[in-house]
Structure 1
Amino acid sequence: MIPVTELRGAIPIGIALNLNPIGVYIASVIGSTLVSIPLVLTYRHVVQFMREKNIFTKLLNKIDQKIENSMKKMKAASLLGIILFVGIPLPTTGTWTAAAIASLLRMRVIEAFTGVFIGNCLSGIIVSLISYHII
């Protein structure tokens, strides 16, 4: 659940400690995914607070305008985008960043959660295979 490392750090550490790899994978995916719901909701409140206090108003208005202009395209691609964003294990492409993106895109919580879950499953598989030197 910790930002930056998330399951990308938990799986290699669990494997290095000779823990059950399936248990490590399941615990890492669940732990990294569960944090997405409160994060999406928290980020929404932070953005609302920033609007009320006129903090980063120009940036938020610019993001809103982009979303309004391409809402249909973005909504259709947002779930797949979150899955791929989380699923490819690169630095800063985990649950925390995906939750912020989902908040900015005004995705429904269940869609954000689903995208993060599937992305974490994919990322967990890739990280596990890398940890075992298979890829």
Structure 2
Amino acid sequence: MVPVPFIILYLKKLATFLSQRSASATRIMDLLFERARRKAAPVEEFQWLGLMLFVAVPFPGTGAWTGAIISSVLGMPFWSGFSANFVGVVLAGLLVNLLMNLGLKYAVITGLVLFFLSTVMWGVLRSLKKSLNAK
């Protein structure tokens, strides 16, 4: 969590500074931002909740650093992005701790159940959002 505030606050400023200095830095920053935008689709839809759930998933590439980059790219307010990252990191830590204490067999079963629940949850959230927007 230590670099998260710095990433949220200064990533765009750093990218602008580096882009003015070097063409290769521009390409690297464009690649970084494009990758963050691809990962940000569900986050962009639900903002704080989406970012928190994205960071809470304990898979490679879905942690606090990526969450901070996504928060910066989407232009989320600082405290909103920081708190979503913090809650997501805490939930991911609790989930990994739980899975490690369950043992392999129960961890696999729990992982499958959580995958199913998250799929259903995203569907419910999307339908709720559509129904709220229709009103």
TM-score (norm 2): 0.56
Which residue of structure 1 lines up, in the alignment, with residue 5 of structure 2? 37
- Equivalents in 2 of 1:51, 1:113: separation in Å? 26
Say which SS state the counterpart of residue 127 (structure 1) adopts.
helix
Cα drift, residue 109 of structure 1: 1.1
Instruction: List per-residue Cα deviations over 1:59-115 (Å, max 9, x = no partner).
Output: 59x96xx9xxxxxx93x6121121011001001111111111111101111111110
Aligned residues: 93
| Contact 1:80–1:115 (CA under 8 A) maintained in structure 2 | yes
Q: Shift of residue 34 of structure 1?
A: 3.6
1:36-75 to 2 correspondences below 5 Å: 36-53=4-21, 55-56=26-27, 59=30, 74=44
User: Partner of 1:82: helix, strand, or coil?
Assistant: helix
1:37-57 Cα deviation digits (max 9, x unpaired):
01212312222225545624x
Matched residue, 1:129: 98
Paired residue for 2:74?
A: 105
Question: Using a 3 Å threshold, how does the CA distance of structure 1 residues 77 and 127 change in structure 2: closer, same or farther?
Answer: same
Which stretches in structure 1 are left out of the alignment for 5+ residues?
A: 1-32, 67-72
Structure 2: distance between partners of 1:111 and 1:48: 23
Question: Whose helix proportion is higher, 1 or 2?
Answer: 2
TM-score, normalised via structure 1 length: 0.56
Give every structure 1 segment of 4 or more consecutive aligned residues whose post-TM-superposition deviation is greater than 6 Å.
none
Structure 2 alignment gaps of length 5 or more: 38-42, 108-135
Kept after mapping to 2: 8 A contact 1:44/1:103? yes
Percent sequence identity over matched residues? 29
Whether the 8 Å contact between 1:43 and 1:99 is mirrored in structure 2 is no
Q: CA RMSD in A?
A: 2.9
